[in-house]
Structure 1
């Protein structure tokens, strides 16, 4: 074990063998931080190996410090970091392997008959919310995820949600404060805050209710994306029309669905100071009898052409987030 690293340090040869020399057949994902491979470690344990790209401007000492910080983050709704590999130009993070995942990019909105029930979907979003509370507050480290989306929410064998990629933005946070997501051609530039994560959670919540992608959403009566559509239905008193028809009606608790939509709209309000902190979000979702404030207009809810979308932005009193066409991904859940 490296004296500077507070968790197991894996040898490159072992990781190469575990992934069949980083075979394309072993690759289970690819994002802005680099590809992810499924591998079998020498202990027999399955692992997810994230092979980081070389775009980080950090030196080796800074990288080790950030890895140690990530290793300190322990919560039931966060993916566990098992160790790392630092050898030559290679920097890899080894995580526990999740047998189930959110599949967000197969070109369609709805999934197969294996779509989870509304009850399970609600449990998943509650788990994600609690994981964010831990990152923002309970860990004492005040970590901003910066890239919360469906593909970063994994499900273990018991369908417990676990947030992945937390802390990685710090490693790739160069002088220009830029985070790039190659997976979705997304670029977010500006000052991130915990309220940025709150906004992303709100979108995730609306997508969970509707089974629709925000940026792929189309409606014959208007040109809004999913956020705008939800806002229109809310103001018309027709919020339940947002509900995904694939959910079994017998499993739906209407008051719970309406509360989810209400809380989601509070999370995606245009100005960051209007958005609730994540600990309040958890309380609002869990407390059926609690009174909620009326939501204000969402940020970034108009559908724009591809020529203009890179110039679209959410302007808040203390942050500016420029968001491209592929900002948000689907949140429907499929066990596999």
Structure 2
């Protein structure tokens, strides 16, 4: 769910790109974003993908079945990069769905390098911490 909807109940023209690219990252990783790791203090799929990107090892998020059967990692890397661009917290920093489709259809479009967004840099709160924050 796009941050602007999750936090404020507002949709934007780029909310669909956010959701689509979360789905792309789920397909690439073979894991659901909502149940990436069941431990309450563990990082989620988006944080994990960002950490791997920052470490220079983005292919670590790829499902082994895809990683070892894919002859061209360039396409997978492009999808990861596009996925990270689409999950930017700031609506202005995300591409539109039209741009996402054009990017997937063309190798001539150069993608920006994703930058870590604020919500991915913040530590993830447990449900107990969230409840305490609500009543603070």
TM-score (norm 2): 0.77
Q: CA deviation at 1:265?
A: 0.5
- Select 1:275's aligned residue among 76, 94, 98: 94
Residues 209-220 of structure 1: pairs in structure 2 closer than 5 A: 209-218=28-37
Q: Counterpart in 1 of 2:74?
A: 255
Q: Counterpart in 1 of 2:49?
A: 230
Query: Which is richer in helix?
Result: 2
Q: Counterpart in 2 of 1:305?
A: 126
Residues 97-108 of structure 1: pairs in structure 2 closer than 5 A: none
RMSD across aligned positions (CA): 3.1
Give the greater-gyration-radius structure (CA).
Answer: 1
Q: Counterpart in 2 of 1:239?
A: 58
Whether the 8 Å CA contact 2:59–2:67 is kept in 1: the answer is no
- Higher relative CO (Cα under 8 Å, sequence separation at least 6) belongs to 2
Residues 268, 243 of structure 1: alpha-carbon distance in 2 compared, 3 angstrom cutoff:
same
| Structure 2: gaps of 5 or more residues | none
- Structure 1 stretches of 4+ with a deviation exceeding 3 A read 298-303, 308-312
| Structure 1: gaps of 5 or more residues | 1-146, 149-178, 180-186, 313-336
Query: Which is richer in strand?
Result: 1
TM-score (norm 1): 0.34
Task: Find the aligned partners of 1:188 and 1:247 in 2 and give their Cα distance.
Answer: 34
Residues 1-336 of structure 1: pairs in structure 2 closer than 5 A: 189-218=8-37, 223-247=42-66, 249-298=68-117, 300-301=119-120, 302-309=123-130
